[in-house]
């Protein structure tokens, strides 16, 4: 449904276009399923997360908003998801990424805005991103 505008022609849904999008996302994210018709709810947690991200990317957004998308998935699945996300960023798309996992922030972000009690505590640019600086900024100090 997220990419409905890409598969509808008039009042009809193009099964061919729908299949193309599903096949593309299954290949892009290496989704493990018996077939493209397999219900997402029957897949492993990591594959379910990949389906959710694939649905969003299928809409071809200019800005992607993500909220703890890898919470609870294994390291291999995280790597696959981040490879796709990094490629998306290389294509000039904006990504706003929220994560409670500091390692993800350090390894994925070009800049980090640290919030404390609902207010911006500071911004850390790529060359200064580290766990230590994230902690420093979160308690009101400057990154160094």
Q: Which residues of 67-102 are buried (b: 16+ CB within 10 A; e: fewer)?
A: eebbeebeeebbebbbebbeebeeeeeebebebeee
DSSP 41-95: GGS-HHHHHHHHHHHHHTT--SEEEEESTTTT--HHHHHHHHHHHHHHHHTT-EE
- Distance (Å, whole) CA 29 – CA 58: 12
Q: Where does residue 37 rank: exposed (0-12), middle (13-18), buried (19+ CB within 10 A)?
A: exposed
> pLDDT tens across 18-54, in order?
888 889 889 988 899 998 889 999 998 888 989 988 8
Query: What is the C-alpha to C-alpha distance for residues 15 and 128, in angstroms, rounded to an integer?
Result: 48
Mean pLDDT across the chain: 89
Mean pLDDT across 115-124: 91
Write out the two tokens for 15: 């099964």
Whether the Cβ atoms of residue 123 and residue 91 lie closer than 8 Å to each other: no
pLDDT-derived band at 77, boundaries 50, 70, 90: confident
What pLDDT score was predicted for residue 6? 81
Residue 142 has phi, psi (to 5 degrees) of -95, 145
Name 2's Cβ contacts closer than 8 Å, sequence gap at least 6: 55, 56, 58, 59
Instruction: Name the pLDDT band for 122 (thresholds 50, 70, 90).
Output: very high
Residues 6+ away with beta carbon under 8 Å from 26: 33, 36, 54
- In this model, does residue 1 exceed pLDDT 70? no
């Amino acid at each position: 449904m997220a990419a409905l505008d890409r598969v509808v022609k008039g009042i009809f849904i193009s099964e061919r276009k729908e299949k193309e999008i599903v096949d593309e996302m299954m290949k892009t994210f290496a989704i493990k399923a018996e077939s493209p018709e397999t219900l997402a709810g029957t897949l492993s947690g990591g594959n379910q997360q990949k389906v959710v991200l694939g649905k969003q990317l299928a809409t071809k957004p200019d800005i992607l908003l993500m909220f703890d998308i890898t919470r609870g998935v294994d390291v291999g699945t995280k790597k696959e998801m981040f490879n796709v996300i990094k490629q998306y960023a290389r294509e000039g798309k904006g990504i706003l990424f929220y994560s409670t996992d500091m390692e993800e922030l350090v390894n994925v972000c070009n800049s980090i805005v640290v919030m404390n009690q609902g207010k911006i505590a500071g911004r850390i640019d790529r060359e200064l991103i580290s766990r230590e600086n994230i902690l420093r900024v979160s308690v009101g100090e400057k990154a160094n």
